[in-house]
Amino acid sequence: MDMKSKEPEWTKYITKDTIDDVILLDLIDKIGFEATKKLMIHYAGRPITIPKTLNTKYKHQYILDNYDGTKMSRIKLVSECDITESYIYKIVKKYKKKKAM
């Protein structure tokens, strides 16, 4: 059987109702049942770590694109990016300095 094209027969027993692990239930909420099921089947027993810093460059770009100098934009960015207002200033200052070089 080609594992890439068809899942093993036993996987039909994996349903939303049979999953009771809180992390898997959270994954179902975030990425959906089918994606979670694929992770369960193909990555069982493997540690998966997604570094917090992985998204840093994307957050920085988002901040640079959306910060307009107002208090409202800072409040929105603090909430969305889970950062502090002073960190926004650091990012803006850092990239302005790079741009000036």
Helix pair angle (85-100, 56-66), 10° resolution: 90
The chain-wide mean pLDDT, for the chain, equals: 91
Interval 23-49 mean pLDDT: 95
Helix or strand or coil: residue 16? Answer: helix
Q: In this predicted structure, what is the pLDDT of residue 1?
A: 41
Q: In this predicted structure, what is the pLDDT of residue 2?
A: 46
State yes or no: pLDDT of 3 exceeds 50: no
Name the residue ranges covered by the structural domains of the chain: 9-42, 52-100
* Burial annotation 3-13 (CB, 10 A radius, 16+ → b, else e): eeeeeeeeeee
State yes or no: pLDDT of 97 exceeds 90: no
